[in-house]
Every structure is written in C-alpha cells, then in structure tokens.
Amino acid sequence: YMTWSVATLNKNVHKARQLNVPYICVLVDGNNMFWAIFQPYVWRILDRLPFQWSSYPDFIRYSRRGWEYIDGSSTHVHLGPVWALITPVAVYLQFADPDAINAIFTRRSDFVRPTKEYKLLEVYGPCVSTAGDDWARHRRVLAAPFNESIMEFVWNESLRQAGSMLRYWSLAGESGVPSMQRDTRTLSLNVLASAAFRKSYPFHGSNNPRIDEASNYRDSLQTILDNIVPLMLIPYRFLTSPLIPHRWAKVGKAAVSFKEHMAEMLENETKALKDGMPGSGGIMTAFARALKTHSEETNSSKPSTRIFKKGLSVDEIFGDVFVINFAGHDTTAVTLAFTMLLLAANPPVQEWISEEISAVTKDIPTEEWDYKSLFPALNRTRAVLLETLRVYPPIMGLPKWTSQKAQTISVSGRTFTIPPGVSAVICLKAIQSHPDYWVDPYAWKPSRWISQTNSVSASSTRVDQHHERLLSPKSNTYFPWSDGPQKCPGKKFAEVEAVAVLACLFRQHRIFVKKMTNESDEAAQRRAIACTNNVTLEALLKMANADKVTLICNQV
C-alpha cells in the first residue's frame, strides 16, 4: 500500500508540476474510508500536545479533516489564488479567485460535479445529486415547489415553531436550556417536514423529545437523519432482518416506514390531482405532478429513448425527497446553532437586531406577522444569517472536476490548461475570509452587511428603515449556497426560516451564556466564541461540543 501510495503520489506531483502551480502533498486521500474513520482519534491525541495545527509539517496539517476551517484563507494568501493539494489518489486544485470561481460555476458541463462522491446519497433511489447528464430533468421538478407560496408557509410555520421553542426556553429559567443544538435541529426538521405536505408538527424540547421512530413522516425522518452515516453505508433493507441488534433494527424500521409515508403522501397527492383538486401545495404536490407527466410518457407510444426525458419515476421521487431533507435539514440547523452562540456572546448585536425587529413589527402580534411586508424589511436580522454563513459556511469546499476533456481557465491573468480527471475545488471558506475582499475577515460582524444611504453609521442603534440597505458583497466572493445552475434551491427557504426564528426570539427576549462559578460575563462570552471555533467536519461544518455552553433565555 505504501509503495502504491508513493508511486501514485509521484505521478500526481508530476501532473501538478506541468500545471506550474504551487502544491502541497499529503500521504492519504481525504476520501480514504479508513483514514476518515481514524483521523479524528489521531487528532484528538495530537491536539493534546503543546503544538499548534500550524506548526505541524504540511503532510500532517492538510490531512486533517476540516483543515479548511482552521486555515481560512491563509494558504491562498501565502501561495496565491490557485494551488494544488496532491494525494496518492488525485490532484485537487484549490481555487479562491473570484473570476475563476465564477467560470467554474457557470461552465457546468466543463467542470462537472463528481457524482461518484455523492453516490452514498442514493438511500432511496437515484437523485439530483448523482444524476450526471440527467441532472436538468431532476432539477426542473425539484426546484418547482420552492416558490413564494411555500415561502409564506415556511415563514408562518417557522414563527409557530420558534414561538413554541421560545416558551420552552423561557420556562427553563436560570437553569438554562438543556440542549440548544438539539432544539434548533428539532425546529428545522419540523419546518422541513411540514413543508412536504403542509402539515404542522408539535415542537418538543430536548428534555422531552417524544420520538416514535416509525409512527409518522416527521419522526421516521428524524431517526433516519440522526443515523445517516450507517444508512448511507448499509442498504436499509439489511437492517430489518431479525438477526440485527435492536438499536439498528429501529433504524431499519424507521427507514422502511419513511418510504411508506412518502408512498402514501405521493398517492394522496396524485389522487387529488386526478380529481381536479390542487393538492396540499407542499413539496410533494410538485413531485406528484412530475410522476403524472412521467407515467404519461412511459405509457405513450413514443420511442423508448424519449421515455425518461420528462417527469420522474417513483424511485427518483423518493430519492429526491430524501435529498431535499438531507440537504435542507442540518445546513439550516447548524447555522442556527452557530448563530445562537454568536449572539449570546455578542449582546450589542442582539440589541441591534432587536431595535430593527421592534421598528418593523411594531405592536403586531406574532401570529399576524405578514411574510410579504416584514421579511424584506428585516435587513439587520438577515445580515446576522449572512455573516454567520460567511464565517461558518456549512459546506466549505465544492468539488468539481474536468471529467473527459482538458479545460482552460484564467486565474488572475494567467491561463491554465487543466488536464482531464483533475479536481477543481471551489474554496468557499477561503474566498469568504480572504483579506483582499473582506475587511477584518475573521471577525463576525453582521453590521458589515448593512449600508447606509445617509450619514447614520452602520453600528448605530437608530433604525431608519428607509436608509438601511443590505449590502451586496464584492462580486463572486460569497457563495455559502453555491452558485450557477446547480446552486442551492433552498436558499430562500433557509433565509425565510432563519429570519422568522430570529425575529420571533429577539423581539422581546435576549439570550445569555450561563456563567460557571466565579466566571465573569466577558469570560463566559469568550467561552461561547471558543466553542464556535472548536469545529468538526462530518458531512458539514459543526461545533464539536455546542452543548458545553448553556444558554439562558430571558424576557426583557
């Protein structure tokens, strides 16, 4: 294995030298399954030694999963807008140049998604992430339900869920919220599950989760997402065998039950459409329409080559429904969790958004908050989300590759010809924290997103809605939701949800870090910030120990 590694590493170094870019070598590829499992233990030991990550040799530093977060933009500042990370398996060109990134996003058929790396997402069937050449057919159907009608539903449902979470947090009193991270996950899952067919689910706080793995669509989905890694590795039908230990059998049962719930919902929606009714208007309605088109095509006498050109099959619908849930759940939940700790550590920012929320919502009761007029006016609140995603993007790098043909690309005036089969990684975290494009790039400062059209400064607490605008960052320097044709279809969904939750929470309440014995306010806030910087990269960037910091929620 070592001989093979050294030989292939050498071959890849040769490839990178021809490209004439700076490079860094590591001895194990990040996608190596064995290393992916063992490296957290190795780093747990190395972290106890009195050395910083930055003081290790390159081949150790860059083999840490999630190195992108600790590194930020420093390797790009040091080596330039493009450099190569070389492993025995591949050459990964790392891009943090606005024009090059824009070119990679827009030239979708030149720089393609490595669908093999996404194969694990096919828990229920072929899906948008693995569709390759057939991606546009999936995307057309999948993007259809993300319209303004569903956004209004998401707004109302998020307010409802946030109201329940707030009551639960307030009741916790001075003993603090048992698990803020679990609660933000529950909230985000409830909103997502309810959007499938516009059915609300009750919010249960973390000390009383009341999950019945298979009883309904929402609970089976939660069990699946909580056990997603084994479900991606082992087909769920193997987990239902009588010989499987009880803990795993429960997961298998939830996976089967989730499929049954999807089938039932799809059937109900299809029947409603057949009867000339509009259906629930949720995400599933769009899929029922796609199934109808698909069955009409498959039943038609058209040549078989045209059969799968439109609509989606039942398995593809199940595959895509699963991907929407997988892609939409933790991304929003982890972002909300980071936001809560950052706000708790920054009381002046809580005051700043609260001023805006009061000015915009006046004395209208929360149940009557109108999506169309209020959401666009909550600029400071949205700035908090945008800034959290700038510093803590859940997805730090987007992999693309050159597939069968060589591609040319221009980076800061130099033209590179990238051979076939080379990976081109869009470094979101690096470009979003690059000092050439962001002032004080590592600081979390939501006010940087607000521009004033009069003389009042952005940090002023005076809200003059007519003079505050959300600032657009320098072009092609901010992509937490990706960009180009394959950008996230759930961007507005996540924005509406997060803004509704923050507005509901901070209108009359504030959150604080629960202090330890003899700890000062400042020390407690520093502890919360340290917690947001102690991250792990599983599928997404997450806090390693979010629940080590307890939050207290008080009405003001």
Q: Is 63 in the site for ligand HEM (CB under 6 A)?
A: no
Binding mask 68-107 for ligand HEM (x = CB under 6 A): ----------------------------------------
- Enumerate residues 6+ apart whose C-beta is below 8 A from 165: 183, 186, 187, 203, 205, 501, 505
Check the annotation: does 127 bind a ligand. Answer: no
Among 23, 258, 493, 506, binds ligand HEM (CB under 6 A): 493
Phi-psi region of 92 (alpha: psi -120 to 50; beta: other; left: phi over 0): beta
Antiparallel, parallel or unpaired: β 23-25 and 82-86: parallel
Q: Which of 347, 341, 352 is nearest to 392 (CA)?
A: 341
Q: Is 488 in the site for ligand HEM (CB under 6 A)?
A: yes
Q: Whole-angstrom Cα distance, residue 201 to residue 358?
A: 28
CB of 474 to ligand HEM, least distance (A): 19
Both tokens of 337, joined, read 């969790």
154 by Cβ neighbours in 10 Å (0-12 / 13-18 / 19+) ranks as buried
Are 463 and 356 spatial neighbours (Cβ–Cβ below 8 Å)?
A: yes
Q: Is 184 in the site for ligand HEM (CB under 6 A)?
A: no
Q: Is 187 in the site for ligand HEM (CB under 6 A)?
A: no
CB of 219 to ligand HEM, least distance (A): 19
Stretch that binds ligand HEM, among 86-94, 200-208, 320-328, 542-550 (CB under 6 A): 320-328
Stretch that binds ligand HEM, among 58-66, 344-352, 368-376, 483-491 (CB under 6 A): 483-491
SS3 state of residue 203:
coil
Q: Is 394 in the site for ligand HEM (CB under 6 A)?
A: yes
Residues facing residue 450 across a β-bridge: 470
CA-to-CA dists, residue 90 to 37, 79, 244, 303, angstroms:
20, 19, 38, 41
DSSP tag of 236: G
Other CB atoms within 10 Å distance of the CB of residue 133: 9
Binding mask 351-390 for ligand HEM (x = CB under 6 A): --------------------------------------x-
Q: Is 446 in the site for ligand HEM (CB under 6 A)?
A: no
Among 324, 341, 409, 549, binds ligand HEM (CB under 6 A): 324
Among 255, 398, 430, 511, binds ligand HEM (CB under 6 A): 398
Amino acid at 197: F
Q: Is 126 in the site for ligand HEM (CB under 6 A)?
A: no
User: How many alpha carbons fall within 13 Å on the CB side of residue 368?
Assistant: 5
Stretch that binds ligand HEM, among 232-240, 326-334, 405-413, 415-423 (CB under 6 A): 326-334
Q: Is 328 in the site for ligand HEM (CB under 6 A)?
A: yes
Site size toward ligand HEM, by CB under 6 A: 26
Q: Is 490 in the site for ligand HEM (CB under 6 A)?
A: yes
Are 312 and 493 spatial neighbours (Cβ–Cβ below 8 Å)?
A: no
Residue numbers of the site for ligand HEM (CB under 6 A)? 113, 128-129, 139, 142, 192, 323-324, 327-328, 331-332, 335, 389, 394-395, 398, 480-482, 486, 488-490, 493-494
State the binding site: 488
State the binding site for heme: 488
